Chains A and B, each alone.
Chain A
Amino acid sequence: MDNTQPQLNPTQPAAVPVATPAPVAPQTPVQPQSVVPPIPSQPVPTQTVTTQPSTLSMIENLATRPIMITITLPTNAYFLSGIRDFTLGLIKNMTEFSEQWAFRFQSVVDELCNNAIEYGSTPGQDIKITFISVPHQSIEIHIEDTGTGKNKVTAADLTRMLEEKRKPNYEFKGLRGRGLAKIVAEWSDELVFEDTEKGGIRVKIKKMLNDPKVQQDMAKYLESPNHLVLS
């Protein structure tokens, strides 16, 4: 993962608490014949300093904050090669998933977008793709269609269909139907179908970084002679 850190502001001082000085009792001068009344002692105002968040905590905050990127795409399979390239680059450069997983998410996004375009929307409309990367934790990908496709289905329909196809004895016949059950489901930890307010479907997948399979792949990735750890 490329943790591009914001630059430290060299002019910003670290917050330092200021001690409150103790009040000093006024000294009574030696009086000549005339008596000068002593100046009444004034309380010394307490100086308060508002502490600012340290620069280091700001950097840590940025490094752990989830990153969300949303892309709106016309319903045309023509654009999917660009989305695949974008997905590959994003996963490889902005997350800690390995190259193998970057290619897998490339397939996942392609399959979900295909379904959204083919079944979920009509030509001339848009689908929406959202990537949410939580550093050191997970990646989520949401694909949303408009619900204007030829055969309207609900989230419940899709759930039933997927559960049917995930059965061990299910036989895939024909050219289609493998994408969701065989590719998307296999390469996700969570798969959620939601009905949107506009009548479309939103498919959400999530993959955890701490999944044993991911960790195993990462270990192989780190063992690669091309992977240098610089300290």
Chain B
Amino acid sequence: MTQVNITIEDIPVTGQGIVAKLVKFQGQLDESNVDEKSKLIYQIIEQNPQNLYLLFDFEELEYMNSKSIGYLTDWYGKITQGNGKLAIAKTRSNILDILQVVGLTQLISCYPTLDEAKFALLRANSTTAPAEPTVSVSPVSPAVSPSSAPVQSSVTETPAPVAPSIAQTAGNEPPTIQQIKLE
């Protein structure tokens, strides 16, 4: 299973009835682990069905696939149904690229720093707050080397896989072709 670590901590808030949490993702979310790891977020949502404010720290998230995008959309829907809020902070440029191409940045605000995200998230509930926070998207450049952040809670070990075989071939064309020209 690809390694990913999710840590959750409370964000102190003064507003009554509001539960705010910082969720930090480290590693990669893909087909091998996203179903299992998504349960953590669903647990938080079930425990706090109303007025839940979640701030996702994506600084050390190296990759997310389309299924994790699907989960993100589902979390957003459930949280906002309960008058809650969801925001994302410190996204790497490749992650932001994925969020933009699937259109999720039109739904969920992305902020370059945690402070800006917290301010926008918590200020949005105050009576004197402006209607919508401005989206300031300045992605963090992705590090090419894998994250070396220390593991803080659950660790998913990744045993060494069997090396795939690599060969050079001259491919032959199959008989039936369905082609789509993309504009």
Contact = CB atoms under 8 A, between A and B. Distances in A.
A196 interface: yes
Contact of B182 (A69, A117, A189, A196): A189
Contacts of B103: 182
B149 interface: no
Given A178-B102, A179-B65, A155 B178 contact: yes
Interface in B137-183: 142, 144, 158, 161-162, 164-171, 173-182
A68 interface: yes
Given A156-B178, A190-B181, A175 B101 contact: no
Interface string B1-35: 11000000000000000000000000010111000
Interface string A50-89: 0000000000000000001111111001111111100010
Contacts of B162: 74
B168 A70 contact: yes
Of the candidates B66, B70, B101, B174, the one having the most CB atoms from chain A within 10 angstroms of its own CB is B66
Given A80-B2, A81-B28, A107-B98, A188 B182 contact: yes
A192 interface: yes
B105 to A, nearest CB: 13
Of the candidates A80, A104, A130, A159, the one having the most CB atoms from chain B within 10 angstroms of its own CB is A80
B31 A77 contact: yes
Nearest to B1: A78
Contacts of B42: none
A173 B168 CA distance: 40
Contacts of A172: 70, 73
Of the candidates B73, B158, B161, B162, the one having the most CB atoms from chain A within 10 angstroms of its own CB is B161
B161 A182 contact: no
A72 B66 contact: no
Interface string A180-192: 0011011111111
Nearest to B161: A79
B171 A142 contact: yes
A114 interface: yes
Nearest to A118: B31
Interface in A104-130: 104, 106-107, 110-111, 114, 117-118, 130
A58 B178 CA distance: 37
Interface size range of chain B in the complex: 35 or more
A30 B94 CA distance: 96
Contacts of A175: 67, 70-71, 74
A2 interface: no
A223 interface: no
Interface in A125-157: 130, 142, 154-156
B177 A194 contact: yes
B142 A195 contact: no
A81 B182 contact: no
A58 B71 CA distance: 52
Nearest to B180: A191
Interface of B: 1-2, 28, 30-32, 63, 65-67, 69-71, 73-74, 93-94, 97-98, 101-103, 142, 144, 158, 161-162, 164-171, 173-182
Interface of A: 68-74, 77-84, 88, 100, 103-104, 106-107, 110-111, 114, 117-118, 130, 142, 154-156, 158-159, 162-163, 172, 174-179, 182-183, 185-197, 202
